[in-house]
Amino acid sequence: MTGQIIYKILLCTVFATALIVFISLFITSAPYGRHSRRGWGLTINARLSWLIMESPSFFTMILMFIIGGRKTNLIAILFLSIWTVHYFHRTFIYPFLIRGGNKKFPLLLMIFAIFFNTANGFINGYYLFIYSPAYGMDWLTDPRFIAGFVFFLSGMFINLQSDHILRRLRKSGEENYKIPGAGLFKYISCPNYLGEIMEWIGWAIATWSIPGLAFAIFTIANLAPRALSNHKWYIDSFSDYPEDRKALIPFIY
C-alpha cells in the first residue's frame, strides 16, 4: 500500500471520526477530569497518559519532515516549527503543570488518542512535506497565511493564558474545583477550548489544506460538546455561577 493511499484513507478516517466524536460527546461526556466515572475499564496515571498520547503528534510530524524532500524549504520549516512548538508544550510541559496530574485517565481513551494523533500527524505532515506542491516564498505574504498565522498565535495565547488561570485557582494539594473569573473566563466557561479551536482553524487557513481542515473540524467536534458539558457542570455545581456566562463563544454559545 502506497503512502498516497494511506494518506487518503486516514484523511477520510479523520473526517468520519469527527462526526462520530461529535455525536458521541452529546450523548455522554468524556470520562476524565471533572467528569471522571467508573465503567471505562483500566486507567493510567493522567500525567503519563498525556505524555504518551500526545507524543505521536510531535514525533510523526518530525518524521514526515525528515522523510520528505523539503528540508531547505523555508515555509516547510516554518510549518514544522508552528506544529512542534504547540505539541512540545502539550507533550512535555503541560502534563507536568496540570493540577491533579496523579489522577487516573481511561486507557481506552488514551489508545484512541494515540491512533488519532498518529493519523493526524501523518496526514498533515504527508501533505505539507510530500504530497502537496511546495510552498513558495510568496506564501509568506499571502493573506491566507498571514490571517491563519495570526489566528493561530491568538488561539495559542488564549489557550496558554486560560490554562495558567486554571492552575492558579488551586494551591498545591487542593482538589476542589473553583469558579475561574479572569481573562476570557469572564465571558465563557471554556476559553482554553476556544483557544485550541482557534489554533487549528488558523492552521487550516495558513496551510490552506484539506488535512488542516480535517483537524480543525475534528477539534470543533471534540471540544464544542465538551465545552457545553463543562458549562452545565459549573451551573450544576455552583449556585452562584454567573448567569450571563456562555460555554464557548462570548455572548453566543
- pLDDT at residue number 41: 81
Please tell me whether residue 172 adopts helix, strand or coil conformation.
coil
Q: Is the pLDDT of residue 99 over 90?
A: no
Q: Is the pLDDT of residue 94 over 80?
A: yes
Cα 193 to Cα 176: distance, rounded to the nearest angstrom:
21
Cα 141 to Cα 137: distance, rounded to the nearest angstrom:
8
Phi, psi of 45 (to 5 degrees): -55, 130
pLDDT digits (tens, 9 = 90+) for 44-69: 999 999 999 999 999 999 999 999 98
- pLDDT at residue number 241: 96
At 44, which helix (H) or strand (E)? strand 43-45
pLDDT digits (tens, 9 = 90+) for 107-162: 999 999 999 999 999 999 999 999 999 999 999 999 999 999 999 999 999 999 99
Q: Is the pLDDT of residue 226 over 70?
A: yes
- 100 pLDDT tier (thresholds 50, 70, 90): low
Percent of the chain residues past pLDDT 70, beyond the cut? 94
- Domain ranges (residues) in the chain: 3-237
Angle of the 210-237 helix axis to the 3-27 helix axis, nearest 10: 20
- 170 pLDDT tier (thresholds 50, 70, 90): confident
Nearest alpha-carbon partner for 17 in 213, 223, 222, 200: 222
- pLDDT at residue number 173: 64
Residues 6+ apart with CB under 8 A from 103: 32, 33, 36, 45, 46
- pLDDT at residue number 238: 95
- pLDDT at residue number 39: 66
Sign, CA dihedral 103-240-27-39, equals positive
User: Count of H helices and E strands in the chain?
Assistant: 7, 2
- pLDDT at residue number 116: 97
Q: Is the pLDDT of residue 101 over 60?
A: no
User: What's the residue count for the chain?
Assistant: 253
- pLDDT at residue number 3: 87
pLDDT digits (tens, 9 = 90+) for 1-35: 788 999 999 999 999 999 999 999 988 887 766 66
* Average pLDDT, integer, range 237-248: 95
Grid cell of 5 as nine digits: 493511499
* Average pLDDT, integer, range 183-201: 98
Give me the chain's average pLDDT, please: 93
Grid cell of 183 as nine digits: 481573562
